[in-house]
Homo-oligomer: A and B are copies of this chain.
Amino acid sequence: MISKLINGIKEKEAPIVVGLDPMLSYIPEAILKKAFDEYGETPEGAAQAVLTFNKGLVDAVCDLVPAVKPQIAMYEQFGIPGLAAFRETVAYCKQNGLVVIGDVKRGDIGSTSAAYATAHLGRITIGSKTYVPFDEDFATVNPYLGSDGVKPFLEVCKSEDRGIFVLVKTSNPSSGEFQDRLVDGRPLYELVAEKVEEWGRECVEGDYTNVGAVVGATYPEMGAALRKLMPRTYILVPGYGAQGGRGKDLKGFFNEDGLGAIVNSSRGIIAAWKKDTYAGKDYQSAARAAVLDMKEDLKEAMG
């Protein structure tokens, strides 16, 4: 699966993933009104508005970027209808040729982690039949429980050609509380990074593996150090734009071949129409313009 992502990045010359993290406040009034008129001010109505909004975004940017990253929490908060919209979003993105990274940050142990892996990347057997629950291409995974929590995902990655991105160093201000603590003189996130490389050895695809790492754009020096520590690991970089990361800071996340990292922007693209920079544009044109600007920003930084 990582090869498919890399091919998309090369083809579109854009190491960019669009975060589909819709808040109702990001959705244009006309879309909300139509959904509420049809379904009422209900979870069904909200889910319908989210799905319509997402489809419009996908239509607007799917020729420019290789991947999207729907954040499941933003759907889960609308309960069952929200999760149905998540599933339909995944399907629509895949129909439009996009690689889908489910930002689910799941992680548990043994048979429970296996159930999460099945839910997001695998197939479930019911009697004599099999079904595909949510069908993402990649899922994000929390490493706090150790290998027991990650290995069931690796099994599914191997059998279904899928991938994961393991949280290593997250983009938020308090990520250092535990992740930066020194163990034998080295930060914990480096220990996690070494495990990520180790887990990846089971899932090699060309120069990279199907076990990636999440490292926040907000910590560029750590990103550069982690790049060296995990030579075969693709890095998913959140925190660009709204959280403060800038293209020029991201050089260290990439390998010399210009590969090795994919940068996420959510609000900066999907809510671009609300920013002064893109005033007067509809949400689709604004999202497209924001992607093109981000592409330029990253190119300059990597050049």
Contact = CB atoms under 8 A, between A and B. Distances in A.
Interface of A: 21, 23-24, 36, 41-43, 45-46, 71, 73-74, 76-80, 82-84, 87, 105-113, 115-116, 118-119, 124, 126-129, 131, 133-134, 142-149, 167, 170-179, 181-184, 188, 191-192, 195
Copies in the complex: 2
Nearest to A150: B174
Given A79-B119, A145-B167, 15 more contacts: A42-B126, A43-B133, A45-B126, A46-B126, A74-B112, A76-B116, A77-B115, A77-B133, A79-B134, A109-B170, A144-B167, A148-B173, A177-B195, A178-B192, A182-B184
Closest 5 CB pairs of A and B: A41-B127, A146-B174, A146-B177, A79-B133, A73-B115
A68 to B, nearest CB: 16
Contacts of A105: 106-108, 142
Nearest to A195: B177
A18 to B, nearest CB: 16
A140 to B, nearest CB: 9
Given A145-B170, A178-B191, A131 B73 contact: no
B183 A41 contact: no
A286 to B, nearest CB: 20
A104 to B, nearest CB: 9
A269 B179 CA distance: 37
Contact of A144 (B42, B134, B178): B178
Contacts of A172: 109-110, 145-146, 148-149
A122 to B, nearest CB: 8
24 contacts: A41-B128, A41-B129, A42-B129, A43-B131, A43-B133, A71-B108, A73-B112, A73-B119, A74-B115, A76-B115, A78-B133, A79-B119, A79-B131, A79-B133, A80-B83, A82-B133, A110-B172, A143-B178, A144-B170, A146-B175, A147-B174, A178-B192, A183-B188, A188-B188
Nearest to A180: B146
B73 A146 contact: no
